[in-house]
Amino acid sequence: MGDEAVQGTNEDATSCKLSAVTLGYWRDPYIKLMYRKSVRRAPEIHLGYYARVQGFRYLVDKVFEACDTRVQIISLGAGFDTLFWRLLDESKPIQNFIEVDFSGVTAKKCFIIKRNKELLTKVADAESEVRLSKTDLHGNRYHLVAADFSNIQNLKDKFAESEVDYQCPTVIVAECALVYADSVKVSGMLNWLASAFPSLVFINYEQINMEDKFGKVMVDNLSCRGCMLSGVAACKDKNSQITRFTSNGWESATCWTMNEVYSLLPQEDVQRVERIEMLDEKELLRQLFDHYCITVARKNSPNFNFDSVNFD
């Protein structure tokens, strides 16, 4: 059941995002095309996803600012994420955008993209062709591929099919993806990435503080759903999140709990979303935020310095 249960977390996350977008927490005209089953979630869930999405966007924008040139983006465990289309709408200079996930997820996303002209027309220029198989899709600027990202050879092969540019400044994003993969394999993959790309940033959203009482309950709940957190050892605390990268060839890494991220987001917008729904008790939200984090790992080169990719 393991892989199927993990793939199921994608639809759950997309449903949560759709619920929050429907209420106006942030704008995403594409999420409703990816998933139509909207079930209204609790305010804590909406605020949690708001902080996650806005935190990621803030940092991705910082990468574009740091590079001042076209950027390559690779999304591991991409699910039904819509970042590519949202960045394109903002005219961000995207060199290449590669999404990687299990074949069960990419097959569904390929079908969704193929049947929605609004999505399909943007994966390639008008004069370029789109190549489609059951599980993979290739445009001239967007690629969706089925792969086990913890398998380096599998990843290399899919990168080659996706015309990856190893010399282009690259940002890799992952949301609750590494934690489901074997920690030894993830370490090997992170080490290979650091050696293969000279200019690289990794933005990772994941669980943290998993060894306290609240964290153990979270692990037990996921286990009951068939989701085994094979990489949970890296989610012990900030130090373990940082060391996962710095011990595998990355020059620096910084980790923030989501409580810290929430306090560092533009507070005028935070106040706006807090008025959307009444939150009777903030303690649960604080506990949830204390058990998720965003980590940024950096590998600078003579041409590109990513030290500014942080919350300031």
pLDDT of residue 2: 45
How many distinct helices (H) and strands (E) make up the chain?
Answer: 13, 9
The arrangement of strands across the sheet holding 142-146 comes to 131-132, 137-138, 142-146, 94-101, 71-76, 170-175, 200-207, 292-299, 252-257
pLDDT digits (tens, 9 = 90+) for 50-74: 999 999 999 999 999 999 899 999 9
Q: Are 100 and 156 in contact (CB under 8 A)?
A: no
**What is the average per-residue pLDDT within 199-206?**
98
Q: Output the CA torsion sign for 239, 244, 248, 254.
A: negative
d(CA 129, CA 131) in angstroms, rounded, equals: 6
pLDDT at 1: 34
Rounded to the nearest 5 degrees, what angle is found at the Cα of 151, between the Cα atoms of 167 and 245? 60
Q: Compare 246 and 231 and report the one with higher pLDDT.
A: 246
The 10 Å Cβ neighbour count of residue 1 is 10
| Poorest-pLDDT segment among 11-25, 173-187, 228-242, 281-295 | 228-242
Predicted structure pTM score: 0.95
The predicted model gives 109-117 an average pLDDT of: 95
Q: Which pLDDT belongs to residue 224? A: 72
**Alpha-carbon distances, residue 153 vs 17, 147, 156, 184 (angstroms):** 33, 10, 5, 15
Between 183-196 and 238-246, two packed helices, what is the crossing angle to 10 degrees? 50
CB 207 within 8 Å of CB 179: yes
Backbone angles phi, psi at 175, to 5 degrees: -120, 110
Mean of the per-residue pLDDT values of the chain = 93
Mean pLDDT value across residues 270-275: 96
Q: What pLDDT score does 232 carry?
A: 84
Query: How confident is residue 281, by pLDDT bands cut at 50, 70 and 90?
Result: confident
pLDDT of residue 221: 75
Tell me the per-residue pLDDT of 256-266, one tens digit each, with 9 for 90 and over: 999 999 999 99
Look at residues 167, 199, 203 and name the one whose alpha carbon lies nearest to residue 305.
199
Amino acid identity of residue 156, one-letter, is K
φ, ψ dihedrals at 145, nearest 5° = -130, 145
